[in-house]
Amino acid sequence: AQKITQTQPGMFVQEKEAVTLDCTYDTSDPSYGLFWYKQPSSGEMIFLIYQGSYDQQNATEGRYSLNFQKARKSANLVISASQLGDSAMYFCAMREIYNQGGKLIFGQGTELSVKP
């Protein structure tokens, strides 16, 4: 069964430094997609970045990059130059490409706190 694991319940980072949020996944499907969402204290879910299992390069979106290591089944989110506004919950999610309905499986989340 597909599963997403985020082993860091909480993380602290100093403003302007980089931080890595861990995500490991388990699937038997050769085709899948990995997503990261941000949930600030206001509660909304904000899409950050996507990585497909066949993508040759790691995905990047501005200050966000995804360190995708397929053999290790990890998809860590790297945030460069942290800002106070990055303080939030971060969720890793996976979708097997051929699952009916495009369902997402979410990890438990990591709460990131950025210190000034």
Partner 1 sequence: NAGVTQTPKFRVLKTGQSMTLLCAQDMNHEYMYWYRQDPGMGLRLIHYSVGEGTTAKGEVPDGYNVSRLKKQNFLLGLESAAPSQTSVYFCASSPLAGGPNEQYFGPGTRLTVT
Binding site for partner 1 (CB under 8 A): 4, 6, 9, 33, 35, 37, 43-45, 47, 50, 52, 91, 93, 95, 97-109
To partner 1, the closest distance from the beta carbon of 16 in angstroms equals 28
- Closer residue to partner 1 (CB): 103 or 115: 103
Taking alpha carbons only, the member of 12, 61, 53 closest to residue 37 is 61
Distance CA 46, CA 36 (A): 9
H helix intervals, 1-116: none
To partner 1, the closest distance from the beta carbon of 21 in angstroms equals 14
- Closer residue to partner 1 (CB): 86 or 96: 96
Distance CA 102, CA 64 (A): 24
